[in-house]
Structure 1
């Protein structure tokens, strides 16, 4: 496979992966609808930062350790499941009824970058995906580290573009989406999604 063929094939595959609805999509849509596009972009930036962190770990061999070590995989898996469960329960049991107005709530809203990043970093399946998926698109004889970073950056750029589309799609409905009843429904629905993903991650196998 030539360099151009590898890049085109990976871009196509990564695009399909990016467009597939998942935890990241739910997080971005909920944040955009409830807290506005600025906070949603912070969440998207956190998600992409998590991808870059996994790219670094995979490039330098740490991702392979997660892939082959059952203990390392399980530790990260259960930490990730517990974190998602915590997020989900908070949204489900304590849904917001309005936008943040005081300093305490604004500070809480600004944590979506951290939440987006940890959601990816604490998911070992992202690392295993990179370990098993990226090498297929690295041409023989090419530098492994440089190509790993390059492919991860393509994935990040695609993710950023898709996040922008999702966030922009909520703007025409912003007045409706920020009603008290809708905000509570969005929080509880997203909380349920997070709990489902936490359960799925906890019972998953490599």
Structure 2
């Protein structure tokens, strides 16, 4: 079990990393702005579920497979890039109109949750990052390695929940105002599509 002297700085670093621009927090920001803070928080829960899966993968040692196997990395990377491209296509084709963010036209909670899970799980850089980051705070003389990694992963998820939740709340409130304008909604949809396309291209060009 990592001591408090290790967990506190790890938590602080995790908070800072959560603020670093990347696919997950950009996804939360855009979904919150377009669909409201509730949808954003549901996406956040989905993303954190994905982080829990990544933590489990690294804890049991399977993360090494992706780090060592170019084929496994390429397959997961390609799936992630295709999913981001699909999200871009959906954003470009999204209808616009002066609607309330709490209207019945928004995707259901289950759909938004699954989006968050898929967004996180199809990003191979997350598990590679976990594999490189978490073990730095592990010591063999503190007990079972897998347990230490699991605890660190949970702390990282808690930090991500705080950061992503704040992003969802504040961008969601702003988005409620934006979505009352069809012109602003159209611009936001095209911006989202461009961002997703850019993220897809960046992920597709990523190498081990």
Query: Quick check: TM above 0.5?
Result: yes
1:197 corresponds to = 199
2:32 corresponds to = 32
CA distance in 2, matches of 1:19, 1:93: 29
1:180-195 equivalences under 5 Å are 180-195=182-197
CA distance in 1, matches of 2:4, 2:107: 45
Distance 1:95 1:21, change over 3 A: farther
CA distance in 1, matches of 2:127, 2:172: 33
CA distance in 1, matches of 2:23, 2:110: 19
Distance 1:198 1:171, change over 3 A: closer
CA distance in 2, matches of 1:201, 1:67: 16
1:102-181 equivalences under 5 Å are 102=104, 105-107=105-107, 110-141=110-141, 142-170=143-171, 172-179=173-180, 180-181=182-183
Distance 1:95 1:203, change over 3 A: farther
Distance 1:89 1:192, change over 3 A: same
Q: What's the TM-score, normalizing by structure 1? A: 0.89
Task: For residue 7 of structure 1, give the secondary structure of its aligned residue in structure 2.
Answer: helix
Aligned residues: 203
Task: For residue 205 of structure 1, give the secondary structure of its aligned residue in structure 2.
Answer: coil
* The 10-residue stretch of structure 1 (82-91 or 9-18) with the greater mean CA deviation from structure 2: 9-18
Asked if the contact 1:95–1:188 (Cα under 8 Å) also holds between the matched residues in 2, the reply is: no
* The 10-residue stretch of structure 1 (163-172 or 126-135) with the greater mean CA deviation from structure 2: 163-172
Asked if the contact 2:43–2:113 (Cα under 8 Å) also holds between the matched residues in 1, the reply is: yes
Task: For residue 111 of structure 1, give the secondary structure of its aligned residue in structure 2.
Answer: helix
Distance 1:175 1:67, change over 3 A: closer
- How far residue 68 of structure 1 moved from its aligned partner, in angstroms, is 0.5
Asked if the contact 2:36–2:173 (Cα under 8 Å) also holds between the matched residues in 1, the reply is: no
Tell me how large the CA RMSD over aligned residues is.
2.0
2:54 corresponds to = 54
Q: What's the TM-score, normalizing by structure 2? A: 0.88
Q: Deviations for 1:128-170, whole angstroms, at most 9, x for unmatched residues?
A: 1111111000123231111111111111111111122222323
